[in-house]
Structure 1
Amino acid sequence: MPIKKNAHLLRGEFAENQALQFLLNAGLVLVEKNFRCKVGEIDLIMREKDALVITEVRYRKSDRFGSAAESVTATKQSRIIAATHYYLSLKPHHKAIRFDVVAISGDNHINWIKNAF
């Protein structure tokens, strides 16, 4: 029996696909999507020239409780960094590494923040 996804998960998946298409159109190359490990998750791992771009995708329907970009807290950043260390232990990368955020608002405005943290 197939597992039903709730609306929140479907919206998150849609936002990730929207961000992926945006980044591909900007010339980045997809390396891996939804990398999960015991310490966290990385939404998108992209490559731009020689740089590995670790990308967190955030969606907020409204800014009532803060923007999508503001929702990337210090705790979330530390989980992403820990997951990146784990990823690199499996697949070493000896070039530059960058942490970006793609924040998508309810009106589908995309804010790409390079070197976000």
Structure 2
Amino acid sequence: MNMKKFSDLVGLSSYTLRYYEKIGLLKHVQRNSSGHRVYSNRDIDWINFIKRLKDTGMPLEEIQKYASLRDIGAQTRADRQALLEKHREKLKQHIQQQVEHLDALEVKIDLYKSGKVS
């Protein structure tokens, strides 16, 4: 599929897609005879994974590291797994912190509802 269709499908601008290609996150984008990018279903899956990592707070540098390890191949499986496990732990900590913030807000809202706060 062309960049416009791919961009619409994955919800990223063409600028972002070109940037990801420039920094090595999209290394295997095919080109047609006119030199235009042609994206595949595999590219959709990869971009969705990148978006998920970003949405869960993984820094772009870490995503690049993961992508580089992925490009090297199967011998980096343990390193990629370790990187994702480390991210999982950070994400769990972040979620716990957000739950604590939510609980504090609930307490404050309950005070307003009870009329104990002027």
TM normalised by structure 2 equals 0.28
Higher-Rg structure is 2
TM, length-normalised to structure 1? 0.28
Q: Larger helix proportion, structure 1 or 2?
A: 2
